[in-house]
Amino acid sequence: MKRPRMIILFLFIVALAFISYHLLYRIEPVNSQTSTPPLHATVFVHGYKGTAVSFRSMLDRFENEHHWGKQALLCKVTKDGRVLTSKTSHYTANDHLFVQVVFENNRANFEDTTYWLSEVMNTLKTHYGIDQVNLVGHSMGGIVSTKFLEDYKQGGKYPHVEKLVVIGSPFKGVKNRDYLKTNTGAATYDLMPNSPAIKQLWANTESFPKHVKTLAIAGVGDQLVNVNSALAIESIVPKENYTESIIVNRNINHSGLHESDEVDAQIGQFLWNEQ
């Protein structure tokens, strides 16, 4: 009689240890919230070599100076593609939500980065109930946002994209060869003029959604992306949905475009009719 009891006790201890291990040490790729956020958000996508700092000051201005909305979520994508989210502030149902995306591998190619963005978008819809978004991308982030719209059909798994803002995005490639030579990573090849990745982006323009209103921002002081390259998305977006803005201040360089009050004003007006 003792042997069956000992076996049962042993199996119970093993099962208890197994359950305890998974409860204590499992990795959750997404930290879901108990509260349901509003159904609309604006998603900010940094460029090549970008970090959480890239849009930090812009988002701080949008929230604390302009009072256009609240920083709601930070979405970090690990090198192996897991989406880790954290709530960054309290907000109400009436607030515009700002979602910042940060890629741990910030030198990856267009294809991988676009896939990771699609995973973020799926997370926003599946775990947070966000059905509509705007996309704001700086530099390569604008290309990745455009490629997402071309490659991943809206509806079902992803929120509906209403508006797109691209800031200093090299749709014809980066023509500063010294910059490409002195930097590393798969993205440097994709960012070259006439690269296979650039050609693929242009080959798929018919897939760009016809309803997405787009603002392209270029700067004459941008030392990496010339005005023609930054505004080339005009040939992708339907004419009636396209708007462009050229920042003529030569003191505003490539990174300075997301630190500019003038750029802030352009985005506020375009996305939310804010002055």
Condensed to tens digits (0 to 9), the pLDDT of residues 13-42 reads 545 444 443 433 333 344 444 455 447 999
Question: Is the domain defined by 29-272 classed in CATH 3.40.50.1820?
Answer: yes
* Mean pLDDT, residues 180-197: 94
Report phi then psi at 208, rounded to 5: -65, 130
Residue 13 has a pLDDT of 55
CB proximity list for 115: less than 8 A, separation 6 or greater? 81
Number of neighbours of residue 239 by Cβ within 10 angstroms: 7
Residue 90 has a pLDDT of 76
Q: Which long-range contacts (CB under 8 A, 24 or more apart) does 204-210 make?
A: 204/147, 204/150, 204/151, 205/150, 205/235, 205/236, 207/149, 207/150, 207/151, 208/146, 208/149, 208/150, 208/236, 208/237, 209/149, 209/154, 209/161, 210/238, 210/241
Q: Which of 113-122, 149-158, 237-246, 265-274 has the lowest mean pLDDT?
A: 149-158
* Mean pLDDT, residues 123-139: 95
Residue 4 has a pLDDT of 55
